[in-house]
Amino acid sequence: MNLAWHDVDDLFAALGDRIRLRLACCLLAVPTGACVCELVDALDESQPNVSRHLKVLKAARLVEERREGRWMYYRLCQPDHPLLDSIRACIATVCRCSDVQEDVRRLRTRLDLRRDGKCVFGTAMMPSRSGRRKGGERRVRLPLVH
Amino acid sequence: MNLAWHDVDDLFAALGDRIRLRLACCLLAVPTGACVCELVDALDESQPNVSRHLKVLKAARLVEERREGRWMYYRLCQPDHPLLDSIRACIATVCRCSDVQEDVRRLRTRLDLRRDGKCVFGTAMMPSRSGRRKGGERRVRLPLVH
DNA sequence: TTGATATATTCATAGATTGGAATATATGAA
DNA sequence: TTCATATATTCCAATCTATGAATATATCAA
């Protein structure tokens, strides 16, 4: 199979951003996918920003999305090209060898809040590192029971 | 070994540009390195541009340089980290599966002009695809005999 | 020294990228 | 319908990136 230049450098450019690389590592750690608010809490970045960066990853065909009610789940695409296998190996190495471990740990904690394997909370359920959320108090919200 | 974010996304960003990816592929094909003018002819890009992009690759610690007389030879760094092995695998796949083959072919043709394994010509020894060089005629220059 | 030449850098500028703030959209529940 | 909420988008300003053109630097030869 022949790759267009267009696709190839977009692939690397997509990973050439800290936030997107962190997202990719998180998604590699959760093969079935994570929803936006879970990723927002894992990275402690704003929701619009996470959403934007996920869009870039999607445009590069690194991730795919599926809607489930109000939640959008993103996961890494299945590698359908040797290059994607190599890219995946890179992401795995970054996962192993960098401080992205913290993000993954926060993500796992967040995933513990799921009910029946599904996200039932919005964002702002995690203690913030950066004090981004004003007031600082954790919003208390009851889980939606389906 | 732990990687700083700084290093990691710079690495991907360095490859997130068409010209730099083409350069990386060319250098993978010539492990002992190629000089700037050979790469200029292989890619048919301007010398300042090739020089600039090589600088970015160097800053990302993907390539290293050595001077030999008037010529600067660039080559891929030896992988000293698992991530660099993975990155190399990516570049190799791109080499195999994309139209960078044309660049590598032109580079090999250019390398045939070497004497004793060293570059003895400047740029503009190759027929131009894009008609970038005004006049269009190939500059005739005698090789320097050392 | 002077001249030729391989490479690097500077300058200017067009275009792309980033991210905060605000807003829009989409879905589900009541 | 109306409200709540998960996600996406738009607007905007700041910043970064890419590249042509011109120039500077470095090396070698004479």
Q: Which residue has the tokens 């541009």?
A: B49
Q: Which residue's CA lies closest to nucleotide D10 at its C1' atom?
A: A48
Q: pLDDT by residue (tens digit) across A100-112?
A: 999 999 999 999 9
User: Chain centroid to CA B124: how far?
Assistant: 16
Residue A70 has pLDDT above 90, yes or no: yes
Which nt has its C1' nearest the CA of A37? D6
Q: pLDDT by residue (tens digit) across A89-142?
A: 999 999 998 889 999 999 999 999 999 999 998 765 444 434 333 333 333 333
Determine the pLDDT at residue A98: 87
Determine contact: B59 vs chain A, CB below 8 A.
no
* A68, containing H or E segment: strand A63-68
Which bases along strand D come within 7 Å of a protein CB atom? Answer: 5-10, 17-23, 26-29
Q: Where do the structural domains in chain A lie, given as residue ranges?
A: 5-111
Which pLDDT band, with edges at 50, 70 and 90, does B8 fall under? very high
Lowest-pLDDT range of A5-14, A42-51, B115-124: B115-124
Residue B136 has pLDDT above 50, yes or no: no
How many Å apart are CA A128 and CA A125, to the nearest integer? Answer: 9
Of B17, B90, B98, the CB nearest to A90: B90
Amino acid in position B114: R
Determine contact: B21 vs chain A, CB below 8 A.
yes
Question: Which is nearest to B15 in space by CA: A7, A81, A16?
Answer: A16
Q: Is B60 helix (H, G, I), strand (E, B) or coil?
A: coil
Which bases along strand C come within 7 Å of a protein CB atom? Answer: 5-10, 17-23, 26-29
Question: What fold characterizes domain B5-111?
Answer: Arc Repressor Mutant, subunit A (1.10.10)
